[in-house]
Every structure is written in structure tokens, then in C-alpha cells.
Amino acid sequence: MLTTKKLGGLFLCLVLLALFRHSASDGKVHNYLQDRQIGLWGKPRNVALSVDQVMNHLNFDVEYNGTSDELVSQNMGLYKEVYGKKIDEPKTAKLTYNQLHSVEYELANATLLTLVRNKELEDIVFTIRQIEETWNHQFHYPYTFMNDEEFTEEFKQTVKRHTSGECYFAVIPSAMWAKPAHIDATKQKQGVAKLQDNKVQYAGMESYHNMCRFNSGLFYHLEELKKFKWYWRFEPATNYFCHVDYDIFKFMEDNNKTYGFTISLYDDPLTVETLWPVTLDYIRANPHSVNPNGAFKWLTDVNQNPDITKQANGYSTCHFWSNFEVANMDFYRDEPYSKWFDALDKNGGFYYERWGDAPVHSIGVGLFEDKSKVHWFRDIGYHHSPYSNCPNSERCSRCKKGDFANSELDNQNCLSNWIKYEMTFKDLQQY
């Protein structure tokens, strides 16, 4: 029999449930995640997949009853909704500070890292000053500068004046930088000509191809980097807008993350026409290397930009924009990534096409790592022309809150797909 007391208890439970659902609700974001039935309790299984299972995951093709323009606009709505939320530091993570600027502070095994040319001295100082001002003045993490040539004394002395941590200068051995001997010159010429006909940026600049290959799969083998586990990549002339007080590297370490990013974009499909087919061949032979909780849908979405996915033969071209990234180099050094990179290198697409380090890192992370180990640094305000990540936070200045780029570039934004397909409700509540 239902007594008044029991009814009261039931009522209280219903009210609490409703309150929980309300407080946990983020409008559309909540609905998307509910639709996918991924929630607080959605723990993935960690069992190796068979070839068929892997291929099934990668043939993802949601029916979408609308045009891709409609989807872009819907996704930008989601993007703006997420950005509209006021954020501060991550709420549910372990954070480490050095508020007293103690010299005793124990650093993580990490370096700020940039590949840069002597002629970019002014631009690199421009960026270093912002990294110091918004973050590193509290920690004094070391910097590693990489170059395919010797750095000039002027370069070295100038950057040392603007950095609060130790500076290391690494000259890249030509075996790591130059085009490998197995590249077929005729095939390369034909490939470059095709890219040039299609107005692909940097197509005929061999140093750009070298740079992409080096950043994709070689930098972490440099002698000067062997001692480090973590890196934060930065580029000349980029901006950092927000003050971050906690240790970014320890955040990664203490919260079990492998890869951190700020911006996610589409690539020019012509630069990576065969990257996905070559990768599929590799994983057909090595299905065990694929992580069962990979970011498969983000990698293969065909709805928002169907032409791109078709032209890239099944790869959405969505990638983490790697001119900013914080990551664990041991992930690249381990077998799943490094063996796959060797297969890519052997194929030669870094020269026959223009495979970039951003899609290569992203496919590698998306296939071989658990997506829960990928972190979107919502709180790091960042700009590399023409795109930005500018959160709605009191900690940021000099950028327009919620800004991505000019609206005609909205269809270049992939972050909504990451949010919709790969983030859990709990991930979204982290800030």
C-alpha cells in the first residue's frame, strides 16, 4: 500500500531526477548525446577488433535528410551553443598549479616545441611572448627549437631573451628531413603537376613536403627530443589569448590524456586522396592495432561535406589543426602509430600528394588511441590565420568570444562533428 510517506519519497525522487536532468541539460548538445545513447555510464569495451568489425566501423554513413548547407548551419548552431556557455578551468579534472612560482616546482617531462626558420625570428618572438605571458611565466618549461639549418647566433640570443625556460636548438639531420631515396621522381613530378593544376597551396615546394613528413612521423626521434615525453607545438605568428594557471602538461598526464587540440577542420581532399585507402590496406593487415574506442565517425562522416569525403575516398578529412597540439610522443613512438607511419612513408604520398602532419596525426590518434584520451582545450584561446578558438571566459582577451572565422568559412569547421560523434556528455560538462 502506498502510504503518504512513500508517496512523499517518490515525489522527492522524481523532483531530484528532473532537477538532475535539467542541470545536466545543454539544450541541443544534450539531445545529440541522448540520441546516441552515450552517457555517463557508456564505458567502451577494450577488446581487439576483427577485420570485419574494423571495416564496419569505418563504413559509417548516417542517413541525413537534408542538404549539406543545412547541416553546416545546424552544426554551426551547435558550435555556437557550446561556445555560448561561460567557461573557466576544467571542473572535473585534476589540476596542478605553481601559484607561488616556486623554483622547487617539479616539471613534467615536457618541452614547448617549434619548427622554425631563422627568417621567422620576429614572428616566433611574437608568439613566445604570449605563451610566456598567459602561461609559462608560472612554470618555466623548456623550449626546443628545430630547424633544417643551423640557427643563427642572433636567433638563439633573441629567443633566449624572451623565454623563461631553458632553450635547446636542434638541427635536423638530413636523413630525417630530405626526400627519401625511394621516391620515384617521375611519379612525384606528375603528382605535383596535378596538385598545381588544382591550385593546391605549397604543391611545388619540396621543403613543405619534407616538413609535413618530418612533423608526421620523425620529429620525436630527434636526439634532442628523446629525453622528453610531452610536447606543446607552437608556430610563429600564432596568438594565445587566455590566461591558464594550471600546468597543461600535468593536466595531460594526471587525467590520462594522449592528445590535446583546440581547432578541428576539413583538409583539402586533393592533398590526401589516397591517404585513407592506403591506411585501410594497412589496417586490413593489422586490425589488432585499431583501438575499439577510436574516433571512427569523426574520421568518416560523409554528411556535412559529402564531396570532400568522396574525393578523399572515405576520409572526412576532419583533423585536429596541428599547429597547436599537446601530445605524448610515446604514443607516436609505440608500434601501432610508428608501424603505420612506416607504411605511409613507404607509399610515398608525402611527395606524390601532399599528406599533411595534421591529417596524419589525426587519423593515427583517431584509429589507434581511445578517443577518451583526446582532449579539446576549450580554455586555450588560440589563433592561426584564419581560424580561432576563443572561449567565453573571463580569462581571455584580444579575441571575439565564440569566434571561429569569417562566416563563409563555416563549412570548414569540423568541431561540431567531434562534439556530436565523439564526446560524451561528461566530456562536455568538464568546463
Ligand X SMILES: Nc1nc2c(ncn2[C@@H]2O[C@H](COP(=O)(O)OP(=O)(O)O)[C@@H](O)[C@H]2O)c(=O)[nH]1
Which residues carry out catalysis? 325
Residue from 235, 254, 334, 403 binding Mg ion (CB under 5 A): 235
Nearest distance in Å: CB 148, ligand X? 5
Nearest distance in Å: CB 82, Mg ion? 26
- Nearer to ligand X among residue 75 and residue 147 (C-beta): 147
Nearest distance in Å: CB 150, ligand X? 11
- Piece of 135-143, 163-171, 234-242, 417-425 that binds Mg ion (CB under 5 A): 234-242
Task: Residue 236: name its binding partner from ligand X, Mg ion, none (Cβ under 5 to 8 Å by kind).
Answer: ligand X
Task: Residue 221: name its binding partner from ligand X, Mg ion, none (Cβ under 5 to 8 Å by kind).
Answer: none
| Residues whose CB falls within 8 Å of the CB of residue 428, separated by 6 or more in sequence, listed in order | 26, 29, 33, 82, 419
My answer on whether omega of the bond before 386 falls inside 30° of 0, hence cis, is yes
Given a contact cutoff of 8 angstroms between Cβ atoms, the answer to whether 148 and 207 are in contact is yes
3-state secondary structure of 173: coil
Nearest distance in Å: CB 323, Mg ion? 5
- Nearer to ligand X among residue 136 and residue 424 (C-beta): 136
Q: Report the distance separating Cα 384 and Cα 318, nearest Å.
A: 17
Nearest distance in Å: CB 308, Mg ion? 21
Task: Residue 120: name its binding partner from ligand X, Mg ion, none (Cβ under 5 to 8 Å by kind).
Answer: ligand X
Q: Report the distance separating Cα 138 and Cα 20, nearest Å.
A: 38
**Residue 328 burial (CB < 10 Å; 0-12/13-18/19+)?**
buried
Task: Residue 115: name its binding partner from ligand X, Mg ion, none (Cβ under 5 to 8 Å by kind).
Answer: ligand X
Task: Residue 388: name its binding partner from ligand X, Mg ion, none (Cβ under 5 to 8 Å by kind).
Answer: none
- Nearer to ligand X among residue 356 and residue 381 (C-beta): 356
State the amino acid at position 54 in one-letter form.
V
- Residue 249 C-alpha cell reads as 602538461
**Residue 195 burial (CB < 10 Å; 0-12/13-18/19+)?**
buried
Report the interface residues with ligand X, using CB under 6 A: 114-117, 120, 147-148, 207-208, 211, 235-236, 323
- Nearer to Mg ion among residue 224 and residue 235 (C-beta): 235
Q: Binding residues for Mg ion, how many (CB under 5 A)?
A: 1
- Piece of 13-21, 126-134, 227-235, 308-316 that binds Mg ion (CB under 5 A): 227-235
- Nearer to ligand X among residue 64 and residue 208 (C-beta): 208
3-state secondary structure of 328: strand
Within 170-189, which residues bind Mg ion (CB under 5 A)?
none
- Residue 336 C-alpha cell reads as 601501432
- Residue 338 C-alpha cell reads as 610508428
Nearest distance in Å: CB 147, ligand X? 4
Task: Residue 148: name its binding partner from Mg ion, ligand X, none (Cβ under 5 to 8 Å by kind).
Answer: ligand X
- Nearer to Mg ion among residue 148 and residue 235 (C-beta): 235
Task: Quickly count: other Cβ atoms within 10 Å of residue 314's Cβ.
Answer: 17
Q: Which of 407, 402, 394, 336 is nearest to 369 (CA)?
A: 336
- Grid cell 603528382 is found at 191
| Residues whose CB falls within 8 Å of the CB of residue 260, separated by 6 or more in sequence, listed in order | 248, 252, 325, 326, 327, 374, 375, 376, 377
Q: What are phi and psi of 110, to 5 degrees?
A: -150, 155
- Piece of 26-34, 162-170, 229-237, 372-380 that binds Mg ion (CB under 5 A): 229-237
| Residues whose CB falls within 8 Å of the CB of residue 319, separated by 6 or more in sequence, listed in order | 264, 265, 266, 267, 356, 358, 359, 361, 362, 363, 414
Task: Residue 218: name its binding partner from ligand X, Mg ion, none (Cβ under 5 to 8 Å by kind).
Answer: none
- Nearer to Mg ion among residue 235 and residue 268 (C-beta): 235
Nearest distance in Å: CB 211, ligand X? 4
- Nearer to ligand X among residue 152 and residue 207 (C-beta): 207
- For 378, half-sphere exposure in the C-beta direction (CA atoms, 13 angstrom radius) is 26
Please give the residue whose beta carbon sits closest to ligand X in the complex.
207
Given a contact cutoff of 8 angstroms between Cβ atoms, the answer to whether 272 and 356 are in contact is yes
Nearest distance in Å: CB 236, Mg ion? 7
Please give the residue whose beta carbon sits closest to Mg ion in the complex.
235
Residues that bind Mg ion (CB under 5 A): 235
